[in-house]
Structure 1
Amino acid sequence: MSRISTSMITQRAIDAMLRQQNKVSNTQQQLSTGRRVLAPSDDPASASRVLGLNRALETVQQYQSNINRAQSRLETEEGVLNGVTNLLQRVSELAVQGNNDTLSATDTKAIAAEVRQLLAQLYSMANTQDSNGEYIFAGYQSGTKPFTNPAVGSYVYNGDLGERQLQISPDRQVADGDNGFALFVNVATAAFAQITAVDATDFTAVADGDITIDGGNGNGPVSIGSIPAAADAAERAQQLADAVNAVSERTGVRAAVNDSGLLELNVVGGSGISVALGTDAGPRSGLSAVTTPTTVAVATATTPRNVFETLHQLVTELESDRPVDRYIDDVHLALDSVINTRTSVGGRLNSIDEQHEVNADLELSLESHRSVEEDLDFAEAIARYERQMTALQAAQQSYVRIKGLSLFDYL
């Protein structure tokens, strides 16, 4: 029979109490954190799943952070563009008002003064900063003031052509702004030439009033939707070209039909205009309007102009009491550009709102799955804690009683 020493009995009792204390401590920590899995050793399989869920949650939360950032910048931009729209509409009204022969020089100068104030306001809007102090129209160069005014009538864009893309889902990105070059600098303008009717005897290819080109300063190709003449012969580009060339010495215009079937008109001292017969084209892509039964205004695209310089030139013309027809159309084109950008911004805001809801649902689902894996059942944990405390107290009391025993107690 083996002999059990007093020291061995003591060590075993102490080990039992320590094990029970560790169990009590672990349960106490679970109750304080509300988590069942405190370390991978508690439940290796659950710990691995929780780790993956945490990574997925961090990614979704980053998407939500990107959405919040993009939303803030786009809402700022939307507010600015709303102001720019109202401003350009007012400029358009003033330009039309100023383009009136009945106004005195004093009246047109007063209109010019208001346009000048609106130009200064537009310049300020183009240099708007967001809540973080970043310029919203500078592209990637958000720390650089996008527009400067180094000289009277000169406006320089200092940003770049970039648009920051923020990831808002695994397969979706959204631009958090628009660069100022596309919005304020690369704006189309219009030049005009007149096509007027002459005697029908000069042109037998077109009935009800023939056409010729008596001038024009366009410098780029344009497609005209149709020639406003009620005659089947007008559908034949070659016949129309022959009619134009018949009087080219008087008009300075030569016509030819290219391989694409387009009628090309070339003005001496200027560049060509392309006329497409029988197609559709809006006012901004070629045909602007039929002003009278015998006159057609043809708009041709020219080199894009800085919208600030357009307004500056408008002011100059008004102050000089000169016609501002071309600038009225230029302002309309600039307004169209702003409205198109506003539409794009609105679409992006709607898109990120929808994605925010999708991400929020996904985040809730991931948190629910993580809760199943690691969250504590408090009722079970409290009952277990009470059992462990009872066992610990029993072990402590047993140790005290055993430690106090001696052979002298039995003598």
Structure 2
Amino acid sequence: MSVNLSTNQFYNRSSASMQKLQAQFDRLNEQVATGKKLLAPSDDSVGYQRLQVINRANVDGTQDAANVKLAQATLQQAGTNLSSITERLQRASELVIQGRNGTNSPAAKQVIATELDSIMESIVALANGKDARGLPLFGGKDDGAAVTPGAAGALTFADGKAAPIPIGDGQSVEVTVNAREFLSVKDGDDLGTAMAAIIAALRGDQPIPDEAVDTLGTIGDQVTAMQTSLGAREVRVDLQLAQLKTSADDRELVRTDIEDADPTETIVQLQKTMTILQATQASFSKLSSLSLFDYLR
């Protein structure tokens, strides 16, 4: 009876050992196929929880990176439009100098006035430019026109300011500005009023008002200052994008350490387990064919 019990125990232990080895082999084989060592939460509950945190951070990081790229594109476009406005204002200043030259004939002044009129139309079009979202680059809180010329040349500006774009870590950046900030001056005058006065004087063969010329110069300085401000914001956004990439790379290293299997080590363990399993199966097969096992069955 004791021999029978001992033999049964040996048989059961061998069977359990093979099942365990088979399960280990299947697990290693799946790790090789998937490249993952963490296949289920039960494998490493702490590691699994850390992976959930990393995955959520990656989702947030992806959205932040998309916002940063949108901010970059919008700031670049705004900067480009302001550069074009600056060029036109410089040309307008040159034309004003020519128009104030006493040797110009009335006909020549008419030509200058016509070009200034065209420049003003171009500046309004640039100020009403839109970003990749279809929103005004220099508008207000809605998607209406940023600048609207009035009957007497005075400009009407959109109300409010566009919402800033979140760029991660609780930060946000204003990628647009209201055109009022650089196309109008403190006393309520604006570029449209100044240009209308200059054009009217030229067409009427009258002296160009000093106040209008001063306003034109002030607005030119304001546009340049706004370019500088947007450039500084663009640098900040570039730095934030680099920081987001660094954070994403760091998270990937942690994720890899927790989740990914080492291919070489896993294959070695798989081969080792397979060898042991085959040897165990062979030994069990030989033992099970002995007459004593046959007798017990």
Cα deviation code 1:213-261 (max 9, x no counterpart) = xxxxxxxxxxxxxxxxxxxxxxxxxxxxxxxxxxxxxxxxxxxxxxxxx
* Pair 1:182–1:161, CA change in 2 (3 A): farther
Measure, in 2, the Cα distance between the counterparts of 1:42 and 1:118: 70
Q: Which residue of 1 aligns with 2:207?
A: 323
Deviation of 1:403 (Å)? 8.5
Contact 1:96 1:328 in 2 (8 A): no
Measure, in 1, the Cα distance between the counterparts of 2:154 and 2:33: 67
Give the RMSD, CA atoms, in angstroms: 3.3
Measure, in 2, the Cα distance between the counterparts of 1:150 and 1:330: 18
Cα deviation code 1:129-153 (max 9, x no counterpart) = 2234332112332x43323457573
* Pair 1:395–1:115, CA change in 2 (3 A): same
Q: Which residue of 2 aligns with 1:342?
A: 227
Q: Which residue of 1 aligns with 2:86?
A: 85
Contact 1:57 1:367 in 2 (8 A): no
Unpaired stretches in structure 1, ≥5 consecutive residues:
189-300
Q: What is the identity, as a one-letter code, of the residue corresponding to 1:153?
A: G
Determine whether 1:312 maps to 2:196.
yes
Cα deviation code 1:83-123 (max 9, x no counterpart) = 10111111111112212333211111110010011111111
Structure with the largest fraction of strand: 1
Unpaired stretches in structure 2, ≥5 consecutive residues:
none
Deviation of 1:16 (Å)? 6.3
Cα deviation code 1:352-402 (max 9, x no counterpart) = 222333333333223223322222222221122123333554566678778
User: What SS does structure 2 have at the residue aligned with 1:167?
Assistant: strand
Measure, in 2, the Cα distance between the counterparts of 1:398 and 1:149: 96
Contact 2:190 2:215 in 1 (8 A): no
Measure, in 2, the Cα distance between the counterparts of 1:59 and 1:321: 63
Structure 1 segment 37-186 matched on structure 2, within 5 A: 37-141=38-142, 143-149=143-149, 151=151, 153=153, 155-157=155-157, 159-184=158-183
User: What SS does structure 1 have at the residue aligned with 2:165?
Assistant: strand
Q: How many residues align?
A: 290
User: What SS does structure 1 have at the residue aligned with 2:193?
Assistant: helix
Deviation of 1:332 (Å)? 0.6
Q: What is the identity, as a one-letter code, of the residue corresponding to 1:41?
A: S
* Pair 1:22–1:85, CA change in 2 (3 A): same
Cα deviation code 1:298-321 (max 9, x no counterpart) = xxx63x223233323322222112
Contact 1:119 1:312 in 2 (8 A): no
CA radius of gyration, larger in: 1
Q: State the structure with bigger RCO (CA 8 A, min sep 6), 1 or 2.
A: 2
Aligned partner (choices 230, 241, 253) of residue 368 of structure 1: 253
Structure with the largest fraction of helix: 2
Measure, in 1, the Cα distance between the counterparts of 2:159 and 2:27: 58
Deviation of 1:344 (Å)? 0.3
Measure, in 2, the Cα distance between the counterparts of 1:399 and 1:145: 85
Q: What is the identity, as a one-letter code, of the residue corresponding to 2:95?
A: L
Measure, in 2, the Cα distance between the counterparts of 1:160 and 1:30: 60
Q: What is the identity, as a one-letter code, of the residue corresponding to 2:200?
A: T
TM-score computed with the length of structure 2 as normaliser: 0.82
Q: What is the identity, as a one-letter code, of the residue corresponding to 2:198?
A: L
Cα deviation code 1:255-301 (max 9, x no counterpart) = xxxxxxxxxxxxxxxxxxxxxxxxxxxxxxxxxxxxxxxxxxxxxx6
Measure, in 1, the Cα distance between the counterparts of 2:140 and 2:28: 55
Measure, in 2, the Cα distance between the counterparts of 1:319 and 1:118: 16
